Amino acid sequence: MTDTKAQTADWSRLGILAGGGDLPLELAQARKDENPFLVLLKGFVDRDFSGFETCTHAVGQIGAIIKSLKAAGCDTLCFAGYVTRPDFSALKMDAKGLALLPKALAAGRKGDDALIRVVVEAFETAGFRVVGADAVKTALTPAGRDDAMGVDPSAHADDIAKAAGIARRMGELDIGQAAVVADGLVLAVEAQEGTQAMLERVAGLPAEVRGSEQDRRGVLAKMPKPIQERRVDLPTVGLDTVEACARAGLAGIVLEAGGAIILERDVLQDALLEHGLFITIVDPAEPGHG
């Protein structure tokens, strides 16, 4: 399918600040004809970006990143891929990073979203327009109710509702985006380790608690935070997530309409059917309700 918006870029050159996972590479491939420039974050990038113009910097080298982006002619920037919260005491920061450190530390005490906003503001102040993944590739428009896929989720309605409610409560506290519930029992909630590591913990639980390939039980819910910086940190589900859920014996994944990005939907549909899993979409919570 042709991504019509991808043919009509409204920037001089796109820069992609790339962390881990599939999303940075998918965005770069969507704009390959425009020669996007990628800043690969040291220690996080885990995909092959051969064929693209790249540079590599550590998370704390804000000044060097800005300098590289400007030298490459970038006027627009997209943050993509996962990056865990750094240990500020161990970061090798340049002068710009050090100047930003007091503000970042203060924001970090309030939660991840506050910290993300400080970083985004630093790049906007430097003259870059920050856009979301869906502006780079319109096929990544946040999931809607029609994006449910895989097997029938109806037997898991109670776990779907409970997992979504817990994930939303975690988001209200700016702790994490995800939770796993099986037969009404909370198996895991996401904190700083990220979704993949959380699912690995679930896979290590006894099969009678979490289910198995022969008896799939439980769901992963990934919900956006109420104060989400949606250009940067919208919940994302790709093949890695589906495979991790399959290994953990789970039955499926629940996302919020308009609140998550689904990668490679055709590939995911095949994987979901192969493993007997589902992705189901729920409406956003009403204000004041989990």
Determine contact, residues 261/21, Cβ cutoff 8 Å: no
80 vs 232: CA distance, rounded Å: 7
For the residues 219-236, what does the mean pLDDT come to?
Answer: 81
The pLDDT value recorded for residue 285 is 76
The pLDDT value recorded for residue 4 is 39
Specify which of 16-20, 33-37, 130-134, 225-229 reaches the highest per-range mean pLDDT.
33-37
pLDDT at 114 over 70: no
Determine contact, residues 189/259, Cβ cutoff 8 Å: no
- Positive or negative CA dihedral for 141, 110, 167, 198? positive
| pLDDT band per the 50, 70, 90 thresholds, residue 99 | low
What are the Cα distances from residue 219, in Å, to 44, 107, 124, 170?
27, 32, 38, 16
Residue predicted with more confidence, 209 or 99:
209
For the residues 58-83, what does the mean pLDDT come to?
Answer: 91
CATH of domain 142-282: 3.40.140.80
What are the Cα distances from residue 50, in Å, to 25, 28, 38, 47, 54?
10, 11, 11, 9, 9
- Positive or negative CA dihedral for 156, 158, 164, 166? negative
CATH of domain 4-138: 3.40.50.20
- Tell me the three-class secondary structure of 203-266, residue by residue: HCCCHHHHECCCCECCEEEECCCCCCCCCCCCCEECHHHHHHHHHCCCCEEEEECCCCEECCHH
The pLDDT value recorded for residue 1 is 36
| pLDDT band per the 50, 70, 90 thresholds, residue 2 | very low
**Average pLDDT of the chain to the nearest whole number:** 85
Is there a shared CATH topology between the 4-138 domain and the 142-282 domain?
A: no
205 vs 200: CA distance, rounded Å: 9
pLDDT at 6 over 90: no
Q: Minimal CA–CA distance to 111: which of 210, 50, 177, 59?
A: 177
pLDDT per position as a tens digit, 133-190: 888 887 676 677 788 999 999 999 999 999 999 999 988 887 888 999 999 999 999 9
Q: Minimal CA–CA distance to 254: which of 170, 155, 169, 153?
A: 153
The pLDDT value recorded for residue 68 is 96
For the residues 111-127, what does the mean pLDDT come to?
Answer: 77
Please state, for a pLDDT cut of 90, what percent of the chain lies above it: 52
Lowest mean pLDDT of 6-15, 210-219, 247-256, 270-279, name the range.
Answer: 6-15
Lowest mean pLDDT of 64-78, 95-109, 178-192, name the range.
Answer: 95-109
pLDDT at 287 over 80: no
Domain assignments of the chain as residue spans, ordered by start: 4-138, 142-282
For the residues 261-279, what does the mean pLDDT come to?
Answer: 93
